[in-house]
Amino acid sequence: MTLAVPVTRTPETALAAAAVAVPPVVGARLAVPLVDGRRVGYANLDHAASAPCLEAVRDAVDELLPWYASVHRGAGFASQVSTKVYEQARAVLRHFVGARQSDAVVFTRNTTDSLNLLAKALPKNTSVVLFDTEHHAALLPWRGPRVHRIETPASPGDAVLALDTALSGCAVGPRLVVLTAASNVTGEIWPVAALAEVARRHGARVVLDAAQLAPHRPIDIRALDVDYVALSGHKLYAPFGAGALIGRADWLNAADPYLVGGGATAQVVDWGDRLGVAWSKVPERHEAGSPNVVGAHALAVACETLTRHGWDAIGEHERALLRRLRSGLATVPGLRGLSLFGPEHDRVGVVSFTIDGVEAGLAAAVLSAEHGIGVRDGAFCAHIATRRLLGRVGAREQRALRVSIGLGTTAEHVDRLVAALRSLVADGPAADYVLVDGRWTPANDPRPLPPFLREVS
C-alpha cells in the first residue's frame, strides 16, 4: 500500500507552479551588461509600456512569412492565404472581446490610432465626457466646446456620481463617454460596468480604452455594456505594430475614411473637374493602404494563446508576483505609493511610487546600469493624473517610478528590484551619473551595445 504524502504549498511553490502554467515569452534568458563589467539576466519590469513577444507569436510569424503577400486584391495563392489569415485575425479579435456579430473590427496601429479614428468618426455635435485621469491617447483626440473633463475622482463611487452629473449637463445630441479599463499610472481597475450603466441612462455610448487591461483580464463588450473597445498588440505580447478598434459600425460607416487610398475605395470615377469616389463599408473604409497582415496575425495569435492558457493561470501568476512586489516595496524607506482609489483597490500588475530624496529618473538609470532592471520613470503619458496623484502623497518632484509585471516576470526579478531600491536608499548610486538630453546616464557609459546595432556610416 502506498501512502500519499501531503505536499505543503508555500508561496514560493505556488508562484513556481503559476509561472509554469503561463505561456513563455521571447527574451526570458536575455543577459544585459552592467557598468561594472558583469552581465545579468534582464529583469523586465516595464510590461505596461511594451510587453515582450510571446514565443507562440514569434513562431506563428515565422510560419506566416513565406506566405506573406498582398491582401484582398491578389489572385496568387500566397495572396489568398494572406487574405485568409488577415480575415481570420479579425474573427479572433471579435471573439476575444466578446463583440456582437454586427460590430466592426477595424485594424489600426495601436490604441492611440484607434481612439483617433473614433474621434474622427463622431457625428456632428457629439458631446464627449471623460475623466482627466486618462492616458493621453484617450484624453487628447477629443476637441471642442462639447468636451467635458471630470477631475480625478477619490473613489469609484465618486466617479459614478461625477459622470452622472456631467452627462446631466450635456447638450442635446449624441454623447460619448470615454473610459479607461485599468489605469496607466496605477493599474487600478475602473468600475466600468457601473459607469456604463450611468451612460446608458443618459443615452450615451461608451468607448473603453482596454490597453492596460487586455493583457491581464478577459474583456466582454456585452457583459460590460460598452459600445467600443480599443487595444494594442504591443501591450498584448504581440509587438508587430497592430491594434484594433472594435464596436458599433454605424458611426464608422457614416464617417469619411480615416485615411484615403486603396482599399478604402469601392469605386473612383473621373468626372473631369473632379473625382467621384464611392467609399467602401467598414472595416475596409478605415483601413486604406496595404494592411499589416503580419501584425494582425501576431495580435490574433497572442489573443488565442492567452485565452487558451486560461485567465485563471495568468491571474494567479500575476497576483502572486504583485503581492510579493508590494510586500517588498513596503520595506523601502521613504517610498510613497500612488493610488486613485486606495492601496487595497483591485489592480493589474502595476505599481507607481516615489522615494523621498531620490529622483525618479536617477533611480531608473541606477536600476538599469547597476542591476539590469528595466522600469519606467516620468508621468507615463498621463501627465494630469500623475501630477495630481503626486500631489496627494506630497511628492516634491513631478515624476514617479512605475514597476509593471507580466508573463515575463519572475520572483527573482521582484526580489532583485526590492534589494536594489533598498541599497540605493541606504548607500546611493555606486557609479557616477550625468544628465544627457534631460535623462540620467552613467558617466562614460561602458556598456556595449549588441552587435546587430551597427553604426551607420
99-121 mean pLDDT: 97
**Whether 31 and 140 share a structural domain:** no
**DSSP bridge partners of 10:** none
**Quick check: 7 pLDDT over 50?**
no
Q: What is the pLDDT of residues 351-383, one digit of tens each?
A: 999 999 999 999 999 999 999 999 999 999 999
Q: How confident is the model at residue 74 (pLDDT cuts 50, 70, 90)?
A: confident
> In what helix (H) or strand (E) does residue 352 lie, and over which residues does it extend?
strand 350-355
How many Cβ atoms sit within 10 Å of the Cβ of residue 419? 14
Q: How confident is the model at residue 127 (pLDDT cuts 50, 70, 90)?
A: very high
Q: What is the pLDDT of residues 206-263, one digit of tens each?
A: 999 999 999 999 999 999 999 999 999 999 999 999 999 999 999 999 999 999 998 8
**Whether 207 and 80 share a structural domain:** yes
Distance CA 189, CA 157 (A): 13
**Whether 432 and 408 share a structural domain:** yes
**Quick check: 179 pLDDT over 80?**
yes
Count of domains for the chain: 2
116 occurs within a structural domain: yes
**DSSP bridge partners of 279:** 265
29 occurs within a structural domain: yes
Note the Cα 256 to chain centre separation in Å.
Answer: 28
CB 182 within 8 A of CB 213: yes
Q: Quickly tell me which residue has 479607461 as its cell.
A: 180
pLDDT reported for residue 8: 46
What is the reported pTM?
0.93
Among 74-88, 177-191, 267-281, the range scoring the smallest mean pLDDT is: 267-281
279-308 mean pLDDT: 96
Q: In what order do the strands lie in the sheet with 228-232?
A: 104-108, 243-247, 228-232, 205-209, 175-180, 127-131, 147-150
Between 74 and 169, residue with greater pLDDT: 169
**Quick check: 136 pLDDT over 70?**
yes
pLDDT reported for residue 6: 45
Domain of 192?
56-308
**Whether 283 and 376 share a structural domain:** no
**Whether 182 and 315 share a structural domain:** no
255, 280, 308: which is the final residue of a domain?
308
Q: What is the pLDDT of residues 10-66, one digit of tens each?
A: 555 555 555 557 999 999 999 999 999 999 999 999 999 999 999 999 999 999 999
90 occurs within a structural domain: yes
Distance CA 248, CA 111 (A): 17
Whichever domain contains 394, its CATH number is 3.90.1150.10
**Whether 165 and 35 share a structural domain:** no
Q: Extract long-range pairs of 152-159: CB within 8 Å, 24+ residues apart.
A: 152/340, 152/384, 152/385, 152/388, 152/389, 153/340, 154/341, 155/341, 155/342, 156/190, 156/191, 156/194, 156/341, 156/345, 159/131, 159/190, 159/191, 159/195
Q: How confident is the model at residue 273 (pLDDT cuts 50, 70, 90)?
A: confident
- Phi then psi dihedrals of residue 189, to 5 deg: -80, 130
pLDDT reported for residue 10: 53
**Whether 351 and 379 share a structural domain:** yes
Active-site residue (options: 53, 170, 303, 381):
381
Question: What mean pLDDT, rounded, does the chain reach?
Answer: 94
Distance CA 228, CA 189 (A): 18
**Whether 277 and 391 share a structural domain:** no
Whichever domain contains 86, its CATH number is 3.40.640.10
| Helix ranges (DSSP H) in 207-351 | 221-224, 250-254, 293-309, 311-329
**Whether 65 and 26 share a structural domain:** no
pLDDT reported for residue 119: 98
381 has catalytic annotation: yes
**Whether 277 and 424 share a structural domain:** no
pLDDT reported for residue 396: 80
**Whether 85 and 228 share a structural domain:** yes
453 occurs within a structural domain: no
**DSSP bridge partners of 355:** 335, 358
Q: Is 392 helix (H, G, I), strand (E, B) or coil?
A: helix
